[in-house]
Amino acid sequence: MPHRVNAQAVAAWIVFSASAAIAGPGVNQFETKDLESNPGDLQFQSQNAIAFGEPKRGVKATGPGQFAYDDNTIASQRYALEMQMGITNWFRTRLGIEFEKERLEVPASPARANAFEDLQLTGVALEGVFVAVPVKKQGVGLGLLIEYDHSVRGGANQLYIGPILQSVSGPWTAIANLLIVQHFGAPDRARLLPADKKQDFAYAAQLLYEVSPTWTLALEGYGTVDRLGGSGTRRPEQALFGQFDQHRLGPVVYYKFDPNGARPHGETRRASAKTLAKDDEDKEAGGDKETSVSIGVGLLFGLNATTPSETLKLSLEYNF
């Protein structure tokens, strides 16, 4: 009997010590990427999210005084600062850093299972958008998004890759990003398990209506389907708690203005539904670049039990 108890304790300790290396669902920023790319265009972005009503964390005893915790990806606050540059008409790139207030990976006790760490730098991201079929004032466009997110805290890194679909018709614009998320987790040396190189499916979708050159209304949805087709190397924690999909949907309002006091042109991304409707004649003439600021405020509602019940979305974009 003592040998059995000791074996349980050792197994529980292994689960406990390895849980920090487990990768939850890949949840990216709540932003939909479009197909606009113009040489020399610069844009500063601040993409932020504050979550409320976080789902209660799963906790299970694995032995005397030892516990396992679910690995759902939960951050009560996320703040990203990014710089974007248009290189050509068919390629743009972006570099950013992200700060998060994450849930504790390995709490000291079940009483701390739902506690959060302090806000800190968590990742650096590099993004590229390739425009295969551009959208003018009307029509359908196609592109490719590739983004690599590197964890600065030793967690799993992610590669996001997939198509960008965009359609513009009058004051309406619809955009969808459909992405495969490849995880590059650290190996679990305690249990001689390889890195958990699982794949998730993530999506971002946006339906915009341009009320005026200044105001745009949007309905936006974001989600992740955890671990496609049993990919990667499942840890014992996944057997205990299962997988964690997340889905959000809600309204967003965008307001655009020119900080120099000029009347808004109404044809740059995010502040207008006609995100790619810059006039071809202006491009050919090499006219002055538009300077604008776009502010977005929205409330995204969780659609399932493993997603925070509300997420406040706040964005700021400065085009220059």
* Residue burial 301-316, b: 16+ Cβ < 10 Å; e: rest: bbbeebbbebbbbbbe
As a whole number of angstroms, the distance between CA 296 and CA 148 comes to 25
- pLDDT of residue 283 exceeding 60: no
Flag whether the pTM goes above 0.95.
Answer: no
* Reduced 3-state DSSP string for 135-175: CCCCEEEEEEEEEEEEECCCCCEEEEEEEEEEEEECCEEEE
Nearest to 271 by CA among 291, 285, 287: 291
Q: Which pLDDT tens digit goes with each residue over 216-254?
A: 999 999 999 999 998 888 877 788 998 999 999 999 999
Alpha carbons within 13 angstroms on the beta-carbon side of residue 211 total 9
Query: Cα separations (Å) of 194 from 9, 60, 73, 161, 216?
Result: 23, 24, 21, 23, 47
- Report yes or no: 63 and 114 within 8 Å, Cβ to Cβ: no
278-294 average pLDDT score: 62
Structural domain harbouring 292: 2-319
Q: Which pLDDT tens digit goes with each residue over 36-94?
A: 999 999 999 999 999 999 999 999 998 999 999 999 999 999 999 999 999 999 999 99
- Domains identified in the chain, total number: 1
DSSP state of 311: E
Which pair of structure tokens corresponds to residue 231?
């990919």
- The kind and range of the H/E element at 12 are helix 2-18
CATH code for position 235: 2.40.160.40
